A and B are shown apart, each in its own frame.
Chain A
Amino acid sequence: VTDTLYYAYGVLAATEPAAVTAEVRGVGGAEVSLLPGARLAVAFSSVPADQFEESSLERRLEDPDWTSTLAMSHFEAVAGLHSRVPVLPLRLCTVFRSAQRAVATVDANTLPLEQALATVAGCDEWSVTVRGARAPATATTPEPTTGAEYLRRVASRGRQRAEEMVEAEETARDLHALLAGLAVATEPAVDTAGSGVRRTYLVHRRNARRFLDVLERSDAGATRLAVDVRGPWAPYSFVPVLREAA
């Protein structure tokens, strides 16, 4: 049993030592360092085993405050790397028991990881959600006085929601036609619980301004819809699916 574990943030080319400077900090403010493998390196920091060993980690992850702090640290470490070199983020809480296992795992997956690194080089991830603007019920509308009136209103709200959803899908399709050409890769549209359509784009930084211009100009007709743009993320959604290490 060891006292420290290896909390891994991302995978990058082993030829990028400049990725890590003292400014890149991870969990608990610890310095992030690299574990170099054959061609790739794992960016990690040491974490105390008593907090990150399986049983206690599961318990701690049920505490939203602890997990939010962890998520912020992970996000900032990945963002720090991402602002300097191409990096593939690892999922939250990728904790290795030994440095050797961490390196062996990425080495065993060199090919898909290198291909993905080449794809994301110089790119940021952006998510675009188109949804109904959800005009709030106006305070001036009197309370329904009869059951029939109540049901009419429910039906009318349902119709309005459905119409907005159709409009959102149409607008999302139109926008996608304009945005796809500016993106390196696109994730399929996701229906966000019936309230909108979300797509995720991988966009080269040299095209970021044009990408955002398209979105900002899209205002024109879509008064009933809201377009919600979030980014720039490290490429969390554009990572390969790895086979299990032997």
Chain B
Amino acid sequence: MTQVVDVRGDGTLVDLLDRLLAGGVVIAGDVVLSVADIDLVRVRLLALLSSVPTAAPTGRGDGSGGRS
């Protein structure tokens, strides 16, 4: 069985946090939070969120979001 989840509408929160906290360009230097701080946040949050059923994030409801 193949399931395709369109993350623009049906992505899960765990998925989203995993991408946003593990991916993306990491800037070291004059930023507010260090890389180590963010890694720690990721570990804590994913542990917390993986232990509860995940709710699908909803759009902010203005109807002009990223769906195309």
User: Which A residues are in CB contact (< 8 Å) with B32?
Assistant: 5, 52-54, 57, 93, 95-97
Cβ of A133 under 8 Å from chain B: yes
Question: A-facing mask of B36-48, CB < 8 A → 1, else 0?
Answer: 0110010011001
- Shortest distance in angstroms between A212's beta carbon and chain B's nearest beta carbon? 6
Assembly CA distance A227 to B66 (angstroms):
25
Q: How large is the interface on B (under 10, 10 to 19, 20 to 34, 35 or more residues)?
A: 35 or more
Report whether B29 and A72 are in contact in the complex, using a CB–CB cutoff of 8 Å: no
Per the 8 Å Cβ criterion, residues 122-148 of A in contact with B are 133
**Residue among B6, B15, B16, B68 with max Cβ neighbours from chain A (10 Å):** B16
Report whether B7 and A232 are in contact in the complex, using a CB–CB cutoff of 8 Å: yes
| Given A52-B32, A92-B21, A239-B25, A58 contacting B3 (CB threshold 8 A) | no
User: Which A residues are in CB contact (< 8 Å) with B49?
Assistant: 64
Of B16, B22, B28, which is within 8 A of A244 by CB? B28
- Shortest distance in angstroms between A2's beta carbon and chain B's nearest beta carbon? 12
Cβ of B24 under 8 Å from chain A: yes
Q: Which of A82-90, A150-158, A161-169, A178-186 contacts B (4 or more CB under 8 A)?
A: A82-90
Of B22, B27, B45, B66, which is within 8 A of A67 by CB? B45
Report whether B26 and A219 are in contact in the complex, using a CB–CB cutoff of 8 Å: no
Q: Which single residue of chain A is at the shortest CB-CB distance from B4?
A: A229
User: Which A residues are in CB contact (< 8 Å) with B4?
Assistant: 212, 215-216, 229-231
Per the 8 Å Cβ criterion, residues 36-57 of A in contact with B are 52-54, 57
| Given A233-B7, A233-B19, A97 contacting B30 (CB threshold 8 A) | yes
Report whether B23 and A91 are in contact in the complex, using a CB–CB cutoff of 8 Å: yes
Q: Which single residue of chain A is at the shortest CB-CB distance from B59?
A: A76
Question: A-facing mask of B1-24, CB < 8 A → 1, else 0?
Answer: 111111110010101110111111
Report whether A231 and B33 are in contact in the complex, using a CB–CB cutoff of 8 Å: no
User: Which A residues are in CB contact (< 8 Å) with B57?
Assistant: 68, 71-72, 75
- Shortest distance in angstroms between B2's beta carbon and chain A's nearest beta carbon? 4
**Residue among A93, A95, A228 with max Cβ neighbours from chain B (10 Å):** A93
Cβ of A226 under 8 Å from chain B: yes
- Shortest distance in angstroms between A244's beta carbon and chain B's nearest beta carbon? 4
User: Which A residues are in CB contact (< 8 Å) with B37?
Assistant: 58
Q: State the 4 A-B residue pairs at the shortest beta-carbon distance, nearest first.
A: A236-B23, A91-B24, A79-B66, A245-B29
Mark B residues whose CB is within 8 Å of A: 1-8, 11, 13, 15-17, 19-33, 37-38, 41, 44-45, 48-49, 57, 59-60, 64-66, 68
Sample (14) of A-B pairs whose CB atoms are under 8 Å apart: A5-B32, A11-B25, A79-B8, A91-B38, A95-B32, A96-B30, A219-B1, A226-B3, A230-B5, A231-B4, A232-B8, A236-B22, A242-B27, A242-B28
